[in-house]
Structure 1
């Protein structure tokens, strides 16, 4: 029988940029703080490990890159994690100790091939300590394409829990209507949307997703200031003239009819905690079910390629 109520938390914070140890320490302390407030599902922002490099150019112009930018890139690469890896094992131990689900935005270093490509990923950790899955951002936005590769359909992850199905998309993936539909079709009850977008229009997006998917939406963003940027970065000059607050936040929790359960948090670090009544999802779908009675499959159909896209496929040799 599905659990009716669950307490969730959205963490709004930022580590020292490119400093994996800082991010790991914050995850440990803020997870414990949220769990102490009763949270059973705790969500951290987009690429919390090792941070979102807002404002940095990595020494790039159209047609050229410079040595300083390559050094900053190397530093970013060094702060990335492998999935699974040592960091996910530590988070598994933490989740098991506290009996909670953890959802964390990370920069993933893929060692399957060259190890030279990073991905903007989200990891899902269960209360038994297991790595339940990951999602890689399908399309990095704008200049993000210099930093991260493209994910594929094999990581459109949805996780079964005692309180319903959880899953979601990262930041501007949520502006891809077909990607949203691919997630709704998996029966999401709690939709997770970590982001780096602090604009007012993002709040409209969250409320629209909640109304469209008839699901709860948890979104969390980093609250980042210049103090979180190492002054010895080659590209520090890129932000030198910017305002001290580089990202104001805007984490929020929305109900399945589009109303705020936790209003957006701005201009400070913090943790939003709310108790969700999952029966609201059922009631909300009485008059609109985007993949059910409102779907019209006789007119519209979506094909999703959920296979991993590998550059090399090996086959068994025939004969001796």
Structure 2
């Protein structure tokens, strides 16, 4: 079975949920018209990854200005339910595509924010979501940690979809939690635009014997509204996120990308038979395991 997929390296309309959703739909419509069946968007595409922001926080001190900025970020974030999710479900259904979208998720019960990937089917709507289990560095200031229930893969008619977000992909046990669910199309939205990220994507493809779709934003200082530019930590360079999106085969071969220093779309046809063929000599959850020596236990709430 061959599946045409698209990795979207785009710039969100920063801190504007509605306009970013409009841009997302336009991009999905364009790719659906080309026969794409799975469309992937970057980490925190809605409402934008807050690169360089301090939210007025240092050790032992927070500012009222920082709290006001956090309030704006919170208000423009999405709930993984309600009207915002319904919009994504309608887009998926209207264009007949599966969507994986990086959002900053606002929890309506506890009020916390999470870095989340939502998986949406054109026929079933929301399949589920993955919340980042360990926000990286200062991300922990604004994003809470996801739990074990977030380590999910989703069986669909286009293959088993799953993955991790950004530096979760450097957590070996988290990767193994995805592999052992038989993930065939491993989705890795990120904000890491270093050249070394490409090697990480290739390693995961070889290790998991799966296709890997690495997806990042392209972002310049000028893409921030003027009100947000002052004091941005990365503003010494015009381009503050170069992108580097890439699509990799189960043998670690680059099929498309990496794409640098521009918005764009990577497209590839994924033959799922290649996943099976690649397991002849290595299968991390099959004949190459040593369950008599190693065990992975995932702690879930009682």
The answer to whether TM tops 0.5 is yes
TM-score by length of 1: 0.92
Which residue in 1 is equivalent to 2:52? Answer: 55
TM-score (norm 2): 0.97
TM-superposed CA distance for 1:238, in Å, is 2.3
Distance 1:304 1:247 in 2: 34
Number of matched pairs: 302
2:245–2:259 Cα contact (<8 Å) kept: yes
Whole-Å separation in 2 of the counterparts to 1:68 and 1:257: 49
Q: Is the 8 A contact 1:103 1:124 kept in 2?
A: yes
Which of 195, 203, 207 pairs up with 1:208? 203
2:280 aligns to what SS in structure 1? coil
SS in 2 for 1:246: strand
The 8 Å contact of residues 106 and 120 in structure 1, kept in 2 or not, is answered as yes
**Equivalent residues in 2 for 1:179-194, closer than 5 Å:** 179-194=174-189
Of residues 62-71 and 167-176 in structure 1, the stretch that sits farther from structure 2 once superposed is 62-71
Which of 159, 163, 184 matches 1:164? 159
Equivalent-residue separation in structure 1 for 2:254 and 2:85 (angstroms): 32
Structure 2 counterpart SS, 1:23: helix
Hey, what does 1:317 align to over in structure 2?
none
Q: Residues 41-84 of structure 1: CA distance to partner in whole angstroms, max 9, x if unpaired?
A: 00000000000011111111111111111111111001111111
> Would you say the 8 A contact 1:16–1:23 is kept in 2?
yes
- C-alpha RMSD of the superposition: 1.3
Structure index of larger Rg: 1
The aligned runs of 1:43-192 (5 Å cut-off) are: 43-113=40-110, 115=111, 117-192=112-187
Cα 1:241–1:252 shift into 2, 3 Å: closer
Aligned to 1:248: 242
Q: Which residue of 1 aligns with 2:252?
A: 258
Give the Å deviation of 1:199.
Answer: 0.4
How far apart are 1:307 and its partner, in Å? 3.9
Q: Which residues of structure 2 form unaligned runs of 5+?
A: none
Residue 263 of structure 2 corresponds to 269
After superposition, the C-alpha distances for 1:77-120 in whole angstroms (9 at most, x for unaligned) are 0111111121110111111111110000001111123x1x1000
1:239 Cα offset (Å): 4.3
Measured after TM superposition, the shift of residue 298 of structure 1 is 0.1
The alpha-carbon deviation at position 236 of structure 1 amounts to 2.5
Specify whether residues 240 and 191 from structure 1 end up closer, same or farther in structure 2 by C-alpha distance, changes over 3 A only.
closer
